[in-house]
Amino acid sequence: MASTSNLRFRRSVAQLQALVGVEREIRAQDSQSRRKYVREFTRSFRTYQAILNHQEFHHALRAADVVLVGDYHALAASQRFAAGLVEQRSLAGDRAVVLGVETIFARDQHVLDEWWRREIDDGELRQRIRFDLDWGYDWAPFYELLVAARDHGEAIYGLDCMPRENLRKIAARDRHAAAKIAEIRDRHPEAVVFALFGESHLAPNHLPRELRKLMPEAKILTVLQNVDPLYWRAAGESADQVEAVLVSDNVLCVFNATPLEKYESYRLFLDQWSRCDSGPDFAPTVYNLVDSLAGFLEINRYSPHNSTQPKFLVDMLPEVHGHASDVMQRLLSRKGIGSEQLEPMLTRVQERGSAYFPEVNAFYMREFQLVHAAEDAARFLHHACRGLPHRLNGHVESGTVKEERTVDVFYRRIVEHFLADFGSRVLYPSRSAPVGNGPLSRAAFDKYAQAAVHGDVKKFDSSALELGYRLGSLLYAAYLEGTIKPAALRRLFLAHLDKPESGRAICNSVIAKLRHTSNRTERGSH
């Protein structure tokens, strides 16, 4: 009988030779494999304790409350294996099954829920979760996984958040995913939670460690797929084929593909991406504006609690649609927005290049004009800081949806407009000041409010916009003078407007603050 070393050499030599060229090409196009985070994964799993047969593997699977499944995104067999696990565990019949996936951002949970309820088809799902733009791997095996989970499971959840391409933020993504899995476990306490995540996240001190902090009593099992050192070691076993091994307590590894299959599939995707030619993708632009404004306001985009910060702002980021308006129109029509209301909304996009629609938490952008895109980014951030009430309770507090014209609504519009104007000036300082800019009194605002309420709709909207822009410009000037700090501005963005008189109170407070700082500046100049 051949020795272990001889078996390993004979089974591996040709594949290792073929891998040399493939890995060279991958390294030339992708430097991420040399990053510390990825190296920690490869160093964590060098050997195993025992070979597992089919029964032993599934016995370990049935004992788990949470199963973390390592995914090699470019390998279709990886997602199909996960689909098989979900189906087999469900067919055991003793517990329900829930699936969470890295592929879908938690911010897009509402889209996934619409597909789950069969309100949209797979084409719209694929487009709205930006699968091809943000993920870029094969749709078919991932869609098979989603269908398997919908057919056999109790729910599906998106687990990831931005930014994917920045490894300096990857620990924050792990903490975010752990919090999401813990929430799913609380929501489905009797179910087994499967979470499919990129393999490098499953090093013991990455996602598993964060999850154990939040769920110390849960039985967490990590199932790796085709880890290179374990594969090469298993190649020396006398068995013709090793299907799975016990790596350590609560860590298994299965083999359903060879390293050459893995890296060739990835190399093909790198080649495909390098030759991709498509129209402009506005989403990174929008998200960068939001991120920059949030950073200026000292908002923690990953805060797990509501207090002085919005909870997981990264999960509330809006959908961004470009030149094809058909999806946007369908989204708005589902919210009960008819053609009469839709026409001026789309006209606004034509005139400004973009618009934010809080009714569906989405941007529609046809052309990048920074002054307007920055203003809409600020509008989104204000809605997000207020908890996006239109998504939470099924209606919109303000915006283009018809609502009663009252003094309360008028002041609420002013607050929204002055925060949007201020935010745009932070991101686009050269924005010109509105005509007639100068001090305003509370009495003057009340006079405007009464006139607007008793006037026509156009007067109501234009007056609120004019006052909002004037107040926003004055607020920005006070910020430049150093009399208003980002912390105070953050509190304005976080202020809720659902209580009676809240909008008026905020406006009066800002007016008083501006008058106080103006008087102080005048005294200091004498």
- Say yes or no to pLDDT of 7 above 60: no
pLDDT in tens, 150-163: 999 999 999 999 98
Average pLDDT over residues 132-141: 92
Q: Write down the pLDDT at residue 411.
A: 87
Q: How confident is the model at residue 261 (pLDDT cuts 50, 70, 90)?
A: confident
- Say yes or no to pLDDT of 218 above 90: yes
Please name the residues in contact with 352: beta carbons below 8 A apart, sequence gap of 6 or more. 369, 372
User: Token pair for residue 75?
Assistant: 């390998």
| Encoded amino acid at 363, one letter | F
- Of 3-17, 348-362, 384-398, the poorest mean pLDDT is in 384-398
- Say yes or no to pLDDT of 454 above 80: no
Please name the residues in contact with 422: beta carbons below 8 A apart, sequence gap of 6 or more. 378, 472, 475, 476, 479, 489
Distance (Å) of CA 320 to CA 80, 106, 380, 381: 30, 15, 12, 14
- Say yes or no to pLDDT of 27 above 70: no
**pTM metric for this prediction:** 0.81
Ramachandran angles phi, psi of 327, nearest 5°: -65, -45
- Say yes or no to pLDDT of 274 above 90: no
As a whole number of angstroms, the distance between CA 388 and CA 381 comes to: 9
Q: Using the 8-state DSSP alphabet, how is residue 134 labeled?
A: I
Average pLDDT over residues 238-248: 88
354 within 8 A of 376, measured Cβ to Cβ:
yes
Please name the residues in contact with 145: beta carbons below 8 A apart, sequence gap of 6 or more. 79, 80, 82, 83, 86, 99, 101, 196
Distance (Å) of CA 283 to CA 72, 129, 387: 25, 12, 21
- Say yes or no to pLDDT of 433 above 50: yes
Q: Write down the pLDDT at residue 28.
A: 66
Q: Write down the pLDDT at residue 324.
A: 58
Residue that wins the pLDDT comparison between 183 and 365: 183
Please name the residues in contact with 82: beta carbons below 8 A apart, sequence gap of 6 or more. 69, 71, 145, 194, 196
Query: What is the average pLDDT score of the chain?
Result: 85
- Say yes or no to pLDDT of 82 above 90: yes
Average pLDDT over residues 111-137: 94
As a whole number of angstroms, the distance between CA 412 and CA 392 comes to: 19
Nearest residue to 331 (alpha-carbon basis) of 74, 128, 507? 128
- Say yes or no to pLDDT of 368 above 90: no
- Say yes or no to pLDDT of 26 above 70: no
The H or E element spanning position 452 is helix 442-453
Residue that wins the pLDDT comparison between 223 and 437: 223
Q: Write down the pLDDT at residue 397.
A: 42
- Say yes or no to pLDDT of 505 above 70: yes
111-145 burial, b at 16+ Cβ within 10 Å, e below that, comes to: bbebbbeeebeeebbbbbbbbeebbebbeebbbbb
What residue spans define the domains of the chain? 4-274, 283-524
As a whole number of angstroms, the distance between CA 379 and CA 395 comes to: 17
Count helices and strands (H / E) in the chain: 21, 11
- Of 118-132, 391-405, 503-517, the poorest mean pLDDT is in 391-405
- Say yes or no to pLDDT of 390 above 50: no
Q: Write down the pLDDT at residue 439.
A: 59
Q: How confident is the model at residue 94 (pLDDT cuts 50, 70, 90)?
A: very high
Cβ neighbours of 435 (radius 10 Å): 8
* % of the chain at pLDDT higher than 70: 87
As a whole number of angstroms, the distance between CA 40 and CA 164 comes to: 18
- Say yes or no to pLDDT of 352 above 70: yes
4-274 is classed CATH 3.40.50.11550: yes
Average pLDDT over residues 38-58: 93
- Say yes or no to pLDDT of 201 above 80: yes
